[in-house]
Amino acid sequence: MLSYLAVITVNVSPVLAVCFTLTLAGESVVGQNLSVPAKASETLLDIAHRYDIGYSEIKAANPNIGLWLPIPSRYVLL
């Protein structure tokens, strides 16, 4: 007759969290806007890649800027 014994251990560690207070009714975003200047050879997607921002986020923040057109000396909202 074969017998098996399984021993499972669980380590519990504290979890850290940051809480933010939303001061205005209907407010859902915490933080501040950041605008960066575009270089002459950059596209909107190049800037998104440099700042680790996704396509949807960079396009939503800059709806009037084309993705593939160079945008020299223009500020881009992140």
In tens, the pLDDT along 36-77 reads 998 888 889 999 999 999 989 999 999 888 888 777 678 899
Distances (CA, A) of 71 to 1, 34, 54: 75, 17, 18
Of 9 and 76, which is predicted with more confidence?
Answer: 76
pLDDT at 2 over 70: no
**Rg of the chain on CA atoms, in Å:** 23
Is the pLDDT confidence value at 6 over 80?
no
| Spatial contact of 65 and 44, defined as CB atoms under 8 Å apart | yes
- Give, in order, the Cα–Cα distances in Å from 78 to each of 23, 24, 31: 23, 22, 12
Query: What's the whole-number mean pLDDT along residues 10-37?
Result: 82
Could you give all domains of the chain from N- to C-terminal order, each with its CATH number?
A: 35-77 (3.10.350)
> Would you call 55 helix, strand, or coil by DSSP?
helix
